[in-house]
Structure 1
Amino acid sequence: MGLVAEFNIHCEALPLVEVAAAVPRATLILDIQFNHGDRPLFIATVTDGSQAVIEEALTDAFDVGEWTLIGQAGKTRRYQVSPALDFEEQLGEHIEDLSGLESLATTEAIIERIEVKTDGWRQSGWFADREAFNEFSSFWQQNAGFRLHRLTRDGESEPPGDGLSDRQHEALRTAYEMGYFDIPRKTSLDRIGKELDISASSVSERLRRAQTQFLQDTMAPTWPPLPE
């Protein structure tokens, strides 16, 4: 089953970050038209912010060749942007593994939303499986900065960690509310077991399985591989 992820890539060299930094109160959503060769066109949708400041920032940005206002509705304006650089030229001085960047193009993933921030991109997208997501996240952890906000299974709306069973949820909540995770501990596995009407060894197993599943769904995808 596929995974849906929402995350930040912290890299100030990414396209149009300079523009977003010039208008920090605006929301800038980027759509990349990959069918335009080495320098794909961008469709930039900007909501709020001064039109004059936004257009001045587009004109002055080192990575913008030409831009055209193609639509406007209220406080939202849409621009077609021709980049002045290809991705290799844009990121070459900031990303050591350019071959790895190229290989991401073959990753089984669909990036559905890119919001340009003042220090990088916030993205959400679909990944075919854990291996595809790990390949993508590991590259950015090693070459820039990566922070995962949400990771769920495709078709599910539950927040991360909801792969836990009802019994695991119950065990975690009971242990937490009884102070098992406090420092120092305020309860024991025996007392939690009596509350749940199971043995202390069963409590221990449920807690270990629940913690492993929670880490697997949340933090583990953001960790870089251990050195060999």
Structure 2
Amino acid sequence: MSCIAEFTITSQALPLSDAIGSAPGMRLDVEQSVATDPVRPVLFLWASGGDFEAFESGLEADESVVSHEPMESLPGRRLYRVQVSDEAGAVVYPTDAEVESCRLDAAFTADGLHTRMRFPDRDALVRYRTRCSEIGLEMKVRRIYQGDVAVTSGYGLSEKQQEILRLAADSGYFEVPRTVSLSDLAAELDISTQSASERLRRGVGALVSSTVCSDMPSSR
């Protein structure tokens, strides 16, 4: 049976390390990775949380980057197309392909590459970790769970957590002042107030873990 692992990879040889070092608060969420050449992938990255001017200056000086192009600018975040160079000392995509794994989420920060991946089985995960060690990458696993767990969101939310969060947002539960109560949400979903409270708290915890505190282990 497949398994899903949440982990962080650290190494100064990772692509974009110098660029992020120029803007330590920056987080780069990988929207897509195009790997026609596995050693030189093209990354589409949503940048947020840091100094954009400092980050772009860092991209110019980063030897792991061949080219970069801003594609979208929104309040608080920007989308970049980044071509990784041969100078990047640790590109993990070939290892992904080697063990036939599927990358579900990835984000670069000053602390490393935060990733959620699906592996064919635990043996594949062990081989992946061994391969990372061989190329000088430190892999810190935060969580491992079976691949049949119902996770349908990029933020690690279950379907039921998505349902109650969406209902809470649409109904005004997060507004100040609130326009509905927790018992109202529970009644709408035909569950107990206690179940609604637990489901809502776990959903919010998963969102915080995946965004504000990407190293925080979720409690689902």
Q: What is the aligned partner in structure 2 of residue 17 from structure 1?
A: 17
Q: How does 1:119-198 map onto structure 2 within 5 Å?
A: 119-142=111-134, 143-156=136-149
The total of aligned residue pairs comes to: 149
1:78 to partner: Cα distance:
0.4
Q: What is the aligned partner in structure 2 of residue 90 from structure 1?
A: 88
**Partners of 1:66 and 1:103 in 2: how far apart?**
24
**Partners of 1:78 and 1:110 in 2: how far apart?**
23
The 1:48–1:40 alpha-carbon spacing in structure 2 relative to 1, beyond 3 Å, is same
The 1:37–1:116 alpha-carbon spacing in structure 2 relative to 1, beyond 3 Å, is closer
Give the secondary structure class of the aligned counterpart of 1:140: helix
The 1:36–1:67 alpha-carbon spacing in structure 2 relative to 1, beyond 3 Å, is same
Q: What is the aligned partner in structure 1 of residue 68 from structure 2?
A: 67
The 1:37–1:135 alpha-carbon spacing in structure 2 relative to 1, beyond 3 Å, is closer
CA RMSD of aligned residues (A): 2.5
The 1:25–1:80 alpha-carbon spacing in structure 2 relative to 1, beyond 3 Å, is same
**Partners of 1:155 and 1:101 in 2: how far apart?**
24
Give the secondary structure class of the aligned counterpart of 2:149: coil
The 1:101–1:66 alpha-carbon spacing in structure 2 relative to 1, beyond 3 Å, is closer
- Determine which of 100, 109, 124 is the counterpart of 1:108: 100
Query: Which letter maps to 1:106?
Result: E
1:3 to partner: Cα distance:
0.5
Contact 1:2 1:154 in 2 (8 A): yes
Structure 2 gap segments, 5+ residues each? 152-220
**Partners of 2:14 and 2:44 in 1: how far apart?**
15
Contact 2:38 2:94 in 1 (8 A): no
Give the secondary structure class of the aligned counterpart of 2:55: helix
Identity across matched positions, percent = 20
Q: Which runs of 4+ in 1 moved over 4 A?
A: 100-104
Q: How does 1:4-43 map onto structure 2 within 5 Å?
A: 4-30=4-30, 31-36=32-37, 38-43=39-44
Deviations 1:142-163 (A, max 9, x none): 43211100100013269xxxxx
**Bigger-Rg structure (1/2):** 1
Contact 2:5 2:118 in 1 (8 A): yes
Give the secondary structure class of the aligned counterpart of 2:56: helix
Contact 1:12 1:118 in 2 (8 A): no
**Partners of 1:37 and 1:101 in 2: how far apart?**
6
The 1:25–1:104 alpha-carbon spacing in structure 2 relative to 1, beyond 3 Å, is closer
Contact 1:17 1:119 in 2 (8 A): no
Give the secondary structure class of the aligned counterpart of 2:47: strand
Contact 2:25 2:51 in 1 (8 A): no
Deviations 1:40-88 (A, max 9, x none): 2111210122221121111111111211100122111000112232xxx
1:127 to partner: Cα distance:
0.5
